C-alpha cells in the first residue's frame, strides 16, 4: 500500500464540490442540496444505490451494508476544499474499488451546525470509519501522512462576567479605576495557563460594556471553551479555570473492529485524540464501533479557511488504507464475525 498513485478523480471531485457555493455550503442550504445531488451521481457510478433518509442524509448502499464510511458535505462560511468533503469522496472511491463488498457511504447533513444529520440517523451500522483531514499541525510536525484517532475530546463552554465601574477615560486617575476589562484580561491569561497535559482552553469572544473608547469598562463577559481527552481531565480543567459550563459533551472513545482493522492496516501510524467534534463522535457515543483516519493537514494545520490543504499523495495513501480497512470489515461482517 504505497500511496504513490495519485487519485486524479478524487482531486477533481473535491474541486467540483468546492465550486458549489465557492467554499460556502451551509447545512440544509441549496448549495448543500446540489452537493448531495452530485455525490448521488458518483455513488451510482460506484455501484451504490443512493437514497435520502428522514434527516436528509444521503446514503449509498450495496447489499446488507452493515459497514459504513463517509462524512459531511456542508462547510463553514468561506471554508476549504477538504473538510468533510474528503471523507465522502474517499468513501465513494473505496466503494468503487470494492465492487463485491456490502457497504454504505454516507454524506451527513449539517455537521458544522450540530452535527445535525448524524444525530438524527436511525439506521445504525455495525461499523463506521470516517476519513477526515486533521485540521491541526500534529501530523505535519511529526512528518506523518496519516494518523489513527482513538478518541474525541470532551468539551465544555460557558461565560464569565466581570463587574467594574464606568468612568470617564480622560478624567479618572488610573489608581481610582475599577476596570472590568483589566480583570477579564487577567482571567484570559489564567485560562491559557490552566491548559496542560493535552487539554485545551480558549477565550474566543469578549463583550465589553458600554463599549466606548473613552469609557472605563463597567462590565465584561468572556466566552470560555475548554477541552480535554478524558472526563477526569475535563473536570479538572473546569475546576482549575473556575467557570460554570452552560454546555458540555463527554469525551468519546473510538474502538471495536474498525479501530482494530485500521491498526492492522497502518501498524506504524501515530495515534491521536481529536480536539474537534465530528460525525464519527456522534455514532461512537451511541455505541456504534467507530474510528477515524486523519489525513495530514498542511499550511500549519490551517482549516475552516481557504488555506486548508492536504497533499494528493497523502490522500492517495488514505484511500488505499480506507479501502483495505473496509475490505477487512466487510469480509468479517459477511462471515458473521
Q: How far is CA 23 from CA 40, 80, 316, in A?
A: 19, 6, 22
pTM of the predicted model, to two decimals? 0.91
Which spans in 144-223 are helix H?
180-194
Give CA 146 to chain center in angstroms: 15
Residue 3: the pLDDT is 46
CA distance 180 to 166: 9
Residue 2: the pLDDT is 45
Residue that the C-alpha cell 474528503 belongs to:
86
Instruction: Tell which phi-psi region holds residue 81, choosing left (phi > 0), alpha (psi between -120 and 50) or beta.
Output: alpha
Is the distance from CB of 234 to CB of 111 less than 8 angstroms? no
Residue 5: the pLDDT is 61
SS3 readout for 212-244: CCCEECCEEEEEEEEEECCHHHHHHHHHHHCCC
Would you give per-residue pLDDT tens digits along the chain (337 residues)?
A: 444 465 799 999 999 999 999 999 999 999 999 999 999 999 999 999 999 999 999 999 999 899 999 999 999 999 999 999 999 999 999 999 999 999 999 999 999 998 999 999 987 799 999 999 999 999 999 999 999 999 999 999 999 999 999 999 999 999 999 999 999 999 999 999 999 988 999 999 999 999 999 999 999 999 999 999 999 999 999 999 999 999 999 999 999 999 999 999 999 999 999 999 999 999 999 999 999 999 999 999 999 999 999 999 999 999 999 999 999 999 998 887 6
Rg (CA), the chain: 23
CA distance 151 to 198: 12
Query: In order of start, what are the domains of the chain with their CATH numbers?
Result: 8-153+251-334 (3.40.630.10), 155-248 (3.30.70.360)
Of 220, 232, 244, the closest CA to residue 157 belongs to: 244
CA distance 137 to 310: 11
Residue environment code for 129-147, b if the CB has 16+ CB neighbours within 10 A, otherwise e: bbbbbbbbebbbeeebbbb
Amino acid at each position: 500500500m504505497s500511496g504513490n498513485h495519485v487519485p486524479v478523480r478524487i482531486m477533481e471531485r473535491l474541486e467540483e464540490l468546492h465550486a458549489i457555493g465557492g467554499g460556502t455550503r451551509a447545512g440544509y442550504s441549496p448549495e448543500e442540496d446540489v452537493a448531495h445531488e452530485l455525490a448521488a451521481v458518483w455513488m451510482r457510478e460506484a455501484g451504490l444505490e443512493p437514497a435520502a433518509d428522514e434527516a436528509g442524509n444521503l446514503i449509498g448502499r450495496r447489499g446488507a451494508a452493515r459497514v459504513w464510511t463517509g462524512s459531511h458535505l456542508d462547510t463553514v462560511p468561506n471554508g476549504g476544499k477538504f473538510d468533510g468533503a474528503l471523507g465522502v469522496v474517499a468513501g465513494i472511491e473505496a466503494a468503487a474499488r470494492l465492487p463485491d463488498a456490502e457497504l454504505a457511504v454516507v454524506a451527513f447533513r449539517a455537521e458544522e451546525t450540530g452535527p445535525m444529520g448524524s444525530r438524527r440517523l436511525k439506521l445504525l451500522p455495525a461499523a463506521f470509519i470516517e476519513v477526515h483531514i486533521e485540521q491541526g499541525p500534529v501530523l505535519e510536525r511529526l512528518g506523518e501522512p496519516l494518523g489513527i484517532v482513538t478518541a474525541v475530546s470532551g468539551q465544555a463552554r460557558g461565560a464569565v462576567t466581570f463587574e467594574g465601574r464606568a468612568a470617564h477615560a480622560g478624567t479618572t486617575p488610573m489608581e481610582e479605576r475599577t476596570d472590568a476589562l483589566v480583570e477579564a484580561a487577567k482571567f484570559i491569561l489564567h485560562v491559557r495557563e490552566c491548559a496542560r497535559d493535552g487539554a485545551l482552553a480558549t477565550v474566543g469572544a469578549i463583550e465589553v460594556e458600554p463599549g466606548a473608547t473613552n469609557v472605563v469598562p463597567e462590565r465584561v463577559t468572556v466566552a470560555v471553551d475548554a477541552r480535554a481527552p478524558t472526563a477526569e481531565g475535563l473536570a479538572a480543567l473546569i475546576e482549575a479555570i473556575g467557570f460554570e459550563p452552560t454546555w458540555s459533551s463527554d469525551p468519546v472513545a473510538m474502538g471495536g473492529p474498525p479501530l482494530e482493522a485500521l491498526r492492522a492496516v497502518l501498524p506504524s501510524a501515530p495515534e491521536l485524540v481529536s480536539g474537534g467534534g465530528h460525525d464519527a463522535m456522534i455514532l461512537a457515543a451511541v455505541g456504534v464501533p467507530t474510528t477515524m483516519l486523519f489525513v495530514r493537514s498542511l499550511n500549519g494545520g490551517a482549516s475552516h479557511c481557504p488555506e486548508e490543504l492536504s497533499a494528493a499523495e497523502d490522500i492517495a495513501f488514505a484511500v488505499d488504507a480506507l479501502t483495505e480497512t473496509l475490505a477487512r470489515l466487510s469480509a468479517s461482517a459477511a462471515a458473521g464475525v
